[in-house]
Structure 1
Amino acid sequence: MADYPVYLVDDDPSIRRSIGFMLRTSGHTVHTFESGTQLLGEVERLDPGCVVIDIRMPGPDGLDVQEQMRKRAITFPVVVMTGHGDVELAVKAMKAGAIDFIEKPFDKRQLFAAITEAWRRLDDNDRWRTRREEAQARLKPLTTREKEVLEGLVKGHPNKTIGYDLGISPRTVEIHRANLMSKLDVHSLSDLLRVAFMAGVGETDEIPGKD
């Protein structure tokens, strides 16, 4: 399992010092932030890592930061720190995608267990990203027309509808479809669609790499 950095966010300097010291002496790389605003100002330039953040802070709190990261498609796993009586907020954070919450004062082992789970998530993200990049690379040799036909197949359209939309005959669509399967080295429509979905076709208006 890879060793990712920990991004510690808390407006209390004593918390940043104590938790930061505990993590560093256990071999972790730690970057501290005094506010959610500071983290959000830098997060897009940071290497993938685990965000450990206080749920109650002036300005953007832990929930706000989590939501802003989601909107920016930043998939760093989040562990929220809560004070006594903040369990309801912690539940909201978990529903919004946080991987765990820890109550202050917390046990060292509980924090380390949460960070370990975050690293597992990051490893999974890396594997998923690699598979997506490989699938996108497989689509690059396709012609513009073949990519347009593939988009139609991803939408579930039959050859006749795809042909109508593109101004070509259903027979021509069938030829492009056969070429798609040959170039992508697949033997069924379901396998073709798996490659397309993994590459992200259908998630936006245009196919990845489309001219």
Structure 2
Amino acid sequence: MTTYNHMVFIVDDDVRIREALGELLESHGMRAIAFGSAGDYVLADKPDVPACLILDVELPDINGLDLQKQIAEGDHPPIVFITGHGDIPSSVRAIKHGAVDFLTKPFCDADLMAAIETAIAQDRERRSERAELTMLRQRYLGLTPRERDVLPLVVSGLLNKQAAAELGISEVTLQIHRRNVMQKMMAASLADLVRMAERLEIPITHSRRTGGN
């Protein structure tokens, strides 16, 4: 089975546009799958690779801008809009909701290719960040309940003595848990652990004591 490291989805009801875009992308070494309607695109099985969605504004079943809104919460690639009837309000709406570009037909091939490359790069970065977050969550789930208690205290900047007092354990026991947290989370430093906690949105709920027991 052939695999690709990217994909460009084309949604346009004009078969001539779909064919022309397909030929353009092929000439640049890019793979594309074309659809004649938004419904066909939504229902289709799609390869799990960095991608870009070239989306016409005027479609037979739904306005492209409305489709953008509907799929905003899902796992869809960055969008490059194309339209034969562009207007400022539509372009502003599209860009405001995350579109990479809004091109009016006839557009320059170079402008379209630049937008596609930007979109694929954005999607590749998003996928990388998502994979990293998934990995961090798996590491976090590998912590014991007590280690999960220790983590927010450690990243808050409390001294070992202060964190131990928060949990009602000895400083030595706290140090053992702290070391285990660092190892299991594969944190190279405290700053690295803080960054991980921020990515995981771990709440800090201790009383922030400044010293003593």
Q: Same fold (TM over 0.5)?
A: yes
Query: Residue 69 of structure 2 aligns with which residue?
Result: 67
The 3 A distance-change label for structure 1 pair 86 and 202 is farther
Amino acid corresponding to residue 130 of structure 2 in structure 1? R
Query: Residue 169 of structure 1 aligns with which residue?
Result: 168
Task: Give deviations 1:149-168, integer Å, cap 9, x for gaps.
Answer: 546778x7x8999x98xxx5
Alpha-carbon shift at residue 96 of structure 1 (Å): 0.3
CA distance in 2, matches of 1:48, 1:85: 27
Query: Residue 141 of structure 1 aligns with which residue?
Result: 142
Task: Give deviations 1:79-138, integer Å, cap 9, x for gaps.
Answer: 001223433212211110011111101111111111111122133224323433443454
Q: What count of residue pairs does the alignment treat as equivalent?
A: 195
Query: Residue 111 of structure 2 aligns with which residue?
Result: 110
The 3 A distance-change label for structure 1 pair 202 and 92 is farther
Classify the secondary structure of the residue corresponding to 1:53.
Answer: strand
CA distance in 1, matches of 2:202, 2:64: 32
Classify the secondary structure of the residue corresponding to 2:54.
Answer: strand
Query: Residue 206 of structure 1 aligns with which residue?
Result: none
Task: Give deviations 1:51-71, integer Å, cap 9, x for gaps.
Answer: 000012233322222223321
Structure 2 runs not aligned, ≥5 long: 204-213
Amino acid corresponding to residue 79 of structure 2 in structure 1? V
Query: Residue 33 of structure 1 aligns with which residue?
Result: 35
The 3 A distance-change label for structure 1 pair 119 and 185 is closer
Alpha-carbon shift at residue 40 of structure 1 (Å): 1.5
Query: Residue 82 of structure 2 aligns with which residue?
Result: 81
- Structure number with greater Rg is 2
Greater shift in the superposed pair: 15-24 or 145-154: 145-154
CA distance in 2, matches of 1:68, 1:25: 32
Amino acid corresponding to residue 38 of structure 1 in structure 2? D
Structure 1 runs not aligned, ≥5 long: 204-211
Query: Residue 52 of structure 2 aligns with which residue?
Result: 50
Alpha-carbon shift at residue 12 of structure 1 (Å): 1.9
| 8 Å Cα contact 2:5-2:50 kept in structure 1 | no
Query: Residue 206 of structure 2 aligns with which residue?
Result: none
CA distance in 1, matches of 2:42, 2:152: 35
Query: Residue 9 of structure 1 aligns with which residue?
Result: 11
Root mean square deviation, CA, Å = 3.5
Query: Residue 97 of structure 1 aligns with which residue?
Result: 98
CA distance in 2, matches of 1:58, 1:170: 66
| 8 Å Cα contact 1:135-1:196 kept in structure 2 | no
The 3 A distance-change label for structure 1 pair 85 and 131 is closer
TM-score, scaled relative to structure 2: 0.72
Amino acid corresponding to residue 53 of structure 2 in structure 1? V
| 8 Å Cα contact 2:10-2:54 kept in structure 1 | yes
The 3 A distance-change label for structure 1 pair 149 and 33 is farther
Amino acid corresponding to residue 22 of structure 1 in structure 2? L
TM-score, scaled relative to structure 1: 0.72
